Structure 1
Amino acid sequence: MTMGAAFKSFWKNYFNFTGTATRAEYWWMVLLGSILTILWIVATIFFAVVAGLSPIQENLNIWHWLMTLSGGLIAWLVISALIFLAVLIPALSLEVRRIRDTGLNAVLVWIVFAIDILSDGFGSNGALNDIVSLLILLIMVFPTDKLANVRMIGKNQR
């Protein structure tokens, strides 16, 4: 699968939480997402510098900060938030489909997915989050149906 095919599949399977996604489909989108995120961060820093925002100011609260933003930067942040929301559902769908492709049974797919989402929500501090991240990484690199016949966790085992 090429990056272009993975990109098409990403958008085609917007709400598909029941299918599967190959390693290539998943990792091409991770690579593309990483590249686009780096470009977005650079562009955001550029817009902030052009707008004259200083990251270090004394007694600056969120309301004062929002009132000092330029219209262009506000538009950039709104567009960024909309793009994030548009990509959120297919990204979650892709993750679930990739976990399903490894051969885990249906219940464990959703348990692994929930643990991943919850561990991300509690910040990146602590060994538990590191262990969860490593577990998710290992699951994501397994080939298709690698876990299908593993006792108690595979989809072919009851």
Structure 2
Amino acid sequence: MTTPQTPASAPLDQPLYGASFGEAIRRFFKKYSDFTGRASRSEFWWWYLFAVVIAIVFSILIATLGTVGNGGRGYGPIGWILIVAYIVWVVAILVPSIALIWRRLHDANLPGPFFFLGFIPFVGGIILLVLYLLPSKPEGARFDRR
């Protein structure tokens, strides 16, 4: 495994081992649709945590403010605005999230198309979770740009 790098010394085409929360989020958006290269476990899991927190915040807001202005009978205008905002967020992060998964698999020296294992009913998500948890392997450098 390569030595940990500081954010200032890690080029975007290389994984950033030991990435901080903020650095992982910045790198996620800088590498928006880049399916080449690798992503360290810290890059991957910090982003995953951020995405889950955003989903929870939207869920709480929709549950608490969603019926405002409609007398409690379904979603009111604020609820629909929040739902549309969440859908826009999900669409905006869809491609870069798949790209991050692809790069995380590369870092474990696995081909990116293993992402599609997640579509296997019942066990696909478990298989991918195990693959995401695998340690980085130097052989994964074969997926870097040359």
TM category (shorter chain) comes to: 0.7 to 0.9
CA distance in 2, matches of 1:52, 1:102: 52
Read off the aligned partner of 2:25 and give its amino acid letter: F
- Aligned pairs (5 A) from 1:1-158: 1-50=19-68, 51-54=70-73, 69-104=75-110, 106=111, 109-110=112-113, 112-116=114-118, 118-119=119-120, 128-129=121-122, 131-145=123-137, 148=139
Higher relative contact order (CA 8 A, sep 6+): 1
CA distance in 2, matches of 1:9, 1:103: 20
The unaligned stretches of length 5 or more in structure 1 are: 55-64, 120-127, 150-154
CA distance in 2, matches of 1:14, 1:78: 22
Following superposition, the deviation at residue 88 of structure 1 comes to 0.9
CA distance in 1, matches of 2:76, 2:31: 37
CA distance in 2, matches of 1:5, 1:78: 28
Aligned structure 1 segments of 4 or more residues deviating by more than 4 angstroms:
none
- Output one character per residue of 1:21-77: Cα deviation in whole Å (capped at 9) or x when no partner: 0000001111111122111111110122434445xxxxxxxxxx6xxx433222222
Following superposition, the deviation at residue 85 of structure 1 comes to 0.7
Going by fraction, where is helix more abundant, 1 or 2? Answer: 1
- Is contact 2:117-2:128 (8 Å) kept? no
For the pair shown, the structure with the greater C-alpha radius of gyration is 1
Cα root mean square deviation, aligned: 2.3
CA distance in 2, matches of 1:80, 1:135: 28
TM-score, normalised by the number of residues in structure 1: 0.69
TM-score, normalised by the number of residues in structure 2: 0.74
What SS does structure 1 have at the residue aligned with 2:34? Answer: coil
What SS does structure 2 have at the residue aligned with 1:15? Answer: coil
Q: Percent identity?
A: 24
